[in-house]
């Protein structure tokens, strides 16, 4: 079963707007990561947030983590057409090696 579940499944916005994607998970985690996948390509790591962190920034990306609600959000500010991609959260389920990926949010940024 999936550990992380992204919401919404699809999101369409205009260039310049902000995009927010959410991830919920079921069991305790040590870390949570966000990845981006452009159509038909491999995934690219965006950001890692540890279970003892509440917020992290990287450029136009802001990630929050609420362990009490077992949820994380990814905010992309001032979106660009190049941000069009699928975004996945990945959690570790407490394992040393294995990441479990959600099904992803498809973000479309219209010029």
Partner 1 sequence: DVKVTQSSRYLVKRTGEKVFLECVQDMDHENMFWYRQDPGLGLRLIYFSYDVKMKEKGDIPEGYSVSREKKERFSLILESASTNQTSMYLCASSLGQGLLFEQFFGPGTRLTVL
Beta bridge partners of 14: 110
Token code pair at residue 96:
């040393």
Q: What angle do CA 65, 108, 100 make, to 5 degrees?
A: 40
Pick the binder of partner 1 from 49, 63, 104, 109 (CB under 8 A): 104
Pick the binder of partner 1 from 71, 72, 92, 109 (CB under 8 A): 92
Give the H/E segment covering residue 32. strand 31-37
Token code pair at residue 50:
């540890």
Is residue 80 near partner 1 by the rule CB under 8 A?
no
Q: Considering only the stretches 13-21, 30-38, 62-70, 71-79, report the one whose residues sit in contact with partner 1 under the rule CB under 8 A.
A: 30-38
Is residue 11 near partner 1 by the rule CB under 8 A?
no
User: Of 39 and 111, which has the nearer Cβ to partner 1?
Assistant: 39
Q: Phi first, then psi: what are they for 110, rounded to 5°? A: -90, 130
Q: What angle do CA 50, 55, 58 make, to 5 degrees?
A: 95
# residues near partner 1 by CB under 8 A: 26
Chain residues binding partner 1 by CB under 8 A are 2, 30-31, 33, 35, 40-45, 48, 50, 88, 90, 92, 95-104
């Amino acid at each position: 079963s999936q550990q992380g579940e992204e919401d919404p499944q699809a999101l369409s916005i205009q260039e310049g707007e902000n995009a927010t994607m959410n991830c919920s998970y079921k069991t305790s985690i040590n870390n949570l990561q966000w990845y981006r996948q452009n159509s038909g390509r491999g995934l690219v790591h965006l950001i890692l947030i540890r279970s003892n962190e509440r917020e992290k920034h990287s450029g136009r990306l802001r990630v929050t983590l609420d362990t009490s609600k077992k949820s994380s959000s990814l905010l992309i500010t001032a979106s660009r057409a190049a941000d069009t991609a699928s975004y996945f959260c990945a959690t570790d389920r407490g394992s040393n090696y294995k990441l479990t990926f959600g099904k992803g949010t498809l973000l479309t940024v219209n010029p």
